[in-house]
Amino acid sequence: MTRRVLVLNGPNLGRLGSREPDIYGATTYRGLVETCETFGKELDLDVEVRETNDEGEMIRWLHEAADGRLPVVVNPGAFTHYSYGMRDAMSQRTAPLIEVHISNPHAREEFRHNSVVASVASGTVAGFGIGSYRLALRALAEELTD
């Protein structure tokens, strides 16, 4: 049975490929979407990838996931460090939720070292470039079969 999964991306992730490629790599956002969809199929997951620069929209998507019992991979972007509204929406999850980051926040600026959402996620994957999404999807698939 194919399981629907949301991959939610926060601010500035739509600019992948042109935004600080030394940190975020050369893969474009379209490339990220294709990677997630293709790898999801290999794992028998129906992956829907979304991106927003709007905190309210992200919170609505998290509510949708909770109400639909949908598993989530989420890259909160900058929301990671300060969005208590997003943290509270994530705490209502009804299925596995994995926090993901392309770079390793702990190897970067001090303000990036704190995640207000990590404590309500099933787990966190960070620092493996676009591969972080593949690792998160694999972990999610394993969570769903356990």
Phi, psi of 59 (to 5 degrees): -65, -40
106 is catalytic: no
Task: Confirm or deny that 114 is annotated as ligand binding.
Answer: no
Does residue 81 have a known ligand-binding role? yes
24 a catalytic residue: yes
**Taking every pair of C-alpha atoms in the chain, what is the biggest distance, in angstroms?**
43
Active-site residue identified among 101, 106, 113, 133: 101
63 annotated as ligand-binding? no
Q: Is 69 annotated as a binding residue?
A: no
Which residue, among 77, 91, 82, has the nearest Cα to 120 in the 3D structure?
91
Q: Is 4 annotated as a binding residue?
A: no
β-pairing, 72-75 vs 45-51, is: unpaired
Q: Which residues are catalytic?
A: 24, 101
Q: Which residues are annotated as a binding site for substrate?
A: 75, 81, 88, 102-103, 112
The annotated binding site is made up of: 75, 81, 88, 102-103, 112
